[in-house]
């Protein structure tokens, strides 16, 4: 039975990737977990320079979810490459760096620093963060800007380029197509959904920034729907993200068309949750007589597709 998947020229030993911003730079977990059990891990978002992020409070719990406005706190790409990468690269997993910028040129510059840095397997391009005043969602919400950023990053590096799409748009497939046309190798779907939580005593937002990004199980059906729409639209592979806490959640995304998945907020609830998900994925494959997890990708029997008329399926 094989759990290995291929995407963007990379081979992942299994489809589970730790999502950006929920797993630090990976090294924070190295004494707790065996990082080599992950198919991959994505670093926290990195700009050229270090950033403090937003003032606190910057996290609030919501029903089945988490609202955050961290604001892309980070040590800057050069410090990451010099001080963190040598440590994290010792672990046998696929290391992706989540890159950010205030301008198109900054994205390209961060990509150039990553290019050739030993241990970086690919770049996830964060054009979808809702918690910053410049860049982020402003790029990911506009197909022209999406194209421009992705094309600039594409030109700056030979590494696989994986734009991360925002759900805070009317039609995510338009953005997906723009990213594909600009040379993306795969797409991550989705970043957090823009939300607002209000403290009724103070009548102020619960987060100091005001709005925040919603993640966790609350967003999963939205994420699955968007990943499915994108997977039907583009030819490049899609990585599903949003609310995964179990093998069954991961399988939803894969059946809907995703080649791999990311686990985010669930890492806060249970660090090492990928271990139980892996065990349950293997058990599911065995129970269903599936030898290769890749065979499941895009097997959704959606009403209106060729098998939808089958009464067994409809029932």
CB of 223 to ligand FMN, least distance (A): 7
Which one of 129, 189, 258, 314 is the catalytic residue? Answer: 129
Cis preceding linkage at 26, omega within 30 = no
- Should residue 45 be labelled a site residue for ligand FMN when binding is judged by CB under 6 A? yes
Q: Is position 314 annotated as part of the catalytic site?
A: no
- Angstrom CA distances, 166 to 110, 171, 244, 310, stand at 20, 10, 17, 35
- Residues in Cβ contact with 97 at an 8 Å cutoff, skipping those fewer than 6 apart: 42, 43, 46, 77, 80, 114, 120, 122, 123, 124
CB of 156 to ligand FMN, least distance (A): 18
Of the residues 216, 240, 257, 294, which one makes contact with ligand FMN according to CB under 6 A: 216
For residue 271, list its beta bridge partners.
none
The region of 31-39, 87-95, 174-182, 235-243 touching ligand FMN under the rule CB under 6 A is: 235-243
Cβ atoms of 127 and 176 within 8 Å: the answer is no
- Residues in Cβ contact with 203 at an 8 Å cutoff, skipping those fewer than 6 apart: none
- Should residue 242 be labelled a site residue for ligand FMN when binding is judged by CB under 6 A? yes
Nearer to ligand FMN, 214 or 236 (CB): 214
- Should residue 166 be labelled a site residue for ligand FMN when binding is judged by CB under 6 A? no
- Should residue 44 be labelled a site residue for ligand FMN when binding is judged by CB under 6 A? yes
| Token representation of residue 43 | 């670093």
The region of 75-83, 144-152, 258-266, 300-308 touching ligand FMN under the rule CB under 6 A is: 258-266
Nearest to 39 by CA among 60, 8, 18: 18
Q: Which residues are catalytic?
A: 129
- Binding residues (CB under 6 A) for ligand FMN: these are 19-22, 44-45, 66, 68, 70, 72, 98, 126, 129, 164, 191-192, 215-216, 219, 241-244, 263-266
């Amino acid at each position: 039975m094989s759990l290995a998947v291929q995407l963007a020229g990379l081979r992942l030993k299994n489809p589970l990737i730790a999502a950006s911003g929920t797993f630090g730079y990976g090294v924070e977990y190295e004494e707790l977990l065996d990082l080599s059990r992950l198919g991959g891990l994505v670093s926290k978002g990195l700009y050229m320079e270090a950033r403090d992020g937003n003032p606190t409070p910057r996290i609030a719990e919501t029903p089945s979810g988490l609202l955050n406005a961290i604001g892309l706190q980070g040590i800057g790409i050069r410090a990451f490459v010099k001080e963190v990468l040598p440590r994290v690269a010792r672990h046998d997993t696929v290391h992706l760096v989540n890159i950010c910028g205030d301008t198109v040129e900054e994205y390209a510059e961060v990509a150039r620093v990553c290019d050739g840095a030993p241990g970086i397997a690919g770049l996830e391009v964060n054009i979808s963060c809702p918690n910053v005043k410049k860049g982020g969602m402003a790029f990911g919400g506009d197909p022209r800007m999406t194209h421009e950023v992705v094309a600039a990053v594409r030109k700056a590096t030979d590494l696989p380029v994986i734009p991360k799409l925002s759900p805070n748009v009317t039609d995510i497939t338009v953005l997906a197509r723009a990213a594909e046309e600009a040379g993306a190798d795969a797409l991550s779907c989705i970043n957090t959904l823009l939300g607002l939580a209000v403290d009724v005593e103070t009548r102020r937002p619960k987060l100091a920034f005001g709005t925040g990004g919603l993640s966790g199980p609350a967003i999963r059906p939205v994420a699955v729907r968007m990943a499915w729409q994108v997977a039907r639209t583009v030819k490049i592979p899609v990585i599903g993200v949003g609310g995964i806490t179990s093998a069954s959640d991961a399988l939803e995304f894969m059946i809907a068309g995703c080649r791999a998945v990311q686990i985010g907020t669930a890492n806060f609830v249970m660090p090492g949750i990928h271990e139980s998900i892996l065990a349950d994925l293997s058990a599911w494959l065995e129970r269903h007589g599936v030898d290769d997890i890749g065979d499941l990708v895009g097997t959704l029997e959606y009403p209106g597709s060729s098998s939808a008329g089958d009464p067994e399926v409809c029932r």
